[in-house]
Amino acid sequence: MKTITTTKLFILITILVYLGACSQLKPSGVLVDVREKISSEDLVVFRKVGKVACRNEIYLVTRSYNRQACLDQMRNSAAELGADFIYVEKETKLPGWFSTGYEMQATAYKKNPESERAAN
């Protein structure tokens, strides 16, 4: 009986440590929007500030969890660049029998100060 309780406790601690290591969206990352389409008007108002990418292969979770973790990680990275939004250019489901991994690439965009001056 004691062995079962110890085993359950070990499993619970392992899961909590595992999930604690997962990507978390920072307060600055919350401010970065995610776009899957970009208009020609956006290209006038915003300028590229860099590329962001993610590869997430956490096992024992769903593919949608890994996708969201990638988005959160890229939003955090884009926030460090001062971006207003990211445009997702490529999404890849990683192959494998038990893989739920995800890989993504995006471009970070920031409002162009010159477009604000032209509007005034």
- pLDDT for 9 equals 62
- What lies within 8 Å, CB to CB, of 110 at 6+ separation is 46, 47, 49, 81, 82, 83, 84
> What are 34's strand-pairing partners?
86
- pLDDT tens across the length of the chain (120 residues): 556 676 666 665 555 445 544 568 999 999 999 998 999 999 899 999 999 999 988 777 888 888 999 999 999 999 999 999 999 999 998 887 778 888 999 999 999 887 665 555
pTM of the model: 0.76
Domain extents for the chain? 25-119
Assign a CATH topology to domain 25-119. Translation Initiation Factor IF3 (3.30.110)
